[in-house]
Amino acid sequence: MRTRNINIKELKNSLRLHSRSFRENMEENRKRKADASIFRRLTSLREYVQARWIYTYVSKPIEVDTIALIRRALADEKHVAVPRCVPGTREMEFYEIHSMEELEPGAFGVLEPVPGRSRLVQEDTGGLCVVPGLSFDSEGYRLGYGKGYYDRFLSRFRGVTVGACYSGCVRRMLPHGYFDRPVDILVTERCIRNISKPAVRPHPGNGGNRKHERKQS
């Protein structure tokens, strides 16, 4: 996205306010239907079906619901890992859980695993990671909450990444840096958008990503 003569911080904050406002003003019934549609699309993905490990955020009220996804993945006998923010840092760790009862309110009021009750995932397991974002764009880049937790994690994650987002928060382009990692797949209540790219990240000057979108009822 061209950002010459634009204050990037102010632009991102403006985009965040717009997406938060959209989500906060969604009617409950509309949100419930959108969440159910995203859930069906996400769990129908070949990448989900084949994954042994599912990494996912634990949703807050304004986010795309992941509680149903966590319970479905556990019922499907997959390994499920959710994040915990490391106090005093901008880092997060993932812990494997076996039920929602293992979680307690943690940083920012989000349900988190408790060290000692759940197992810290230290190895690179690969799998599929469901990524939160206030907004995503057509290239798969995300606009988060500005804390950088997921940016740091995604720079190391080697599995498949899926962005879950309401269609009303998807934009054509978002500001991003060279080291930002786009998601591999974007799922909304309206469609699944595959964002294919080389297995090895391209150097500057190489061709862009190719995208394929398929709509489902």
Q: Rounded to two decimals, what is the model's pTM?
A: 0.85
What is residue 214's predicted lDDT score, i.e. its pLDDT?
Answer: 54
- Give the tokens for residue 182: 């786009």
pLDDT, tens digit, 9 for 90 and up, residues 106-138: 878 899 999 999 999 998 899 999 999 999 999
What is residue 217's predicted lDDT score, i.e. its pLDDT?
Answer: 42
How far is it, in rounded angstroms, from Cα 196 to Cα 17? 30
Q: Which residue has the higher pLDDT, 146 or 31?
A: 31
Please name each of the domains of the chain with its CATH number: 8-215 (3.40.50.10420)
Residue 200 pLDDT greater than 70, yes or no: no
What is residue 126's predicted lDDT score, i.e. its pLDDT?
Answer: 92
Residue 203 pLDDT greater than 90, yes or no: no
Which residues does 132 contact at the CB level (< 8 Å), separation at least 6? 57, 59, 63, 64, 144, 150, 164
Residue 206 pLDDT greater than 60, yes or no: no
Q: Which residue has the higher pLDDT, 114 or 90?
A: 114
pLDDT (average), residues 29-39: 98
Q: How far is CA 20 from CA 17, 54, 60, 82, in A?
A: 5, 26, 12, 23
Average pLDDT, the chain: 87
How far is it, in rounded angstroms, from Cα 174 to Cα 39? 25
Residue 52 pLDDT greater than 50, yes or no: yes
Q: Which residue has the higher pLDDT, 153 or 216?
A: 153
What is residue 11's predicted lDDT score, i.e. its pLDDT?
Answer: 87
Q: In sequence order, what DSSP letters do the residues of 109-123 get, joined into one string?
A: G-EEE-BTTBEE--S
Q: Which of 212, 141, 143 has the alpha carbon at shortest distance from 181?
A: 141
- Out of 158-172, 180-194, 197-211, which region has the weakest mean confidence (pLDDT)? 197-211
**C-alpha neighbours within 13 Å on the C-beta side of residue 24:** 6
How far is it, in rounded angstroms, from Cα 56 to Cα 80? 8
The DSSP call for residue 98 is: S
161, 39 in Cβ contact below 8 A? no
Residue 91 pLDDT greater than 80, yes or no: yes
Residue 28 pLDDT greater than 60, yes or no: yes
- Out of 39-48, 56-65, 150-159, which region has the weakest mean confidence (pLDDT)? 150-159
Which residues does 97 contact at the CB level (< 8 Å), separation at least 6? 70, 80, 81, 82, 103, 113, 118
83, 57 in Cβ contact below 8 A? yes
Phi (first) and psi of residue 131, to 5 degrees: -105, 130
Q: Which residue has the higher pLDDT, 1 or 163?
A: 163
What is residue 201's predicted lDDT score, i.e. its pLDDT?
Answer: 36
pLDDT (average), residues 129-151: 91
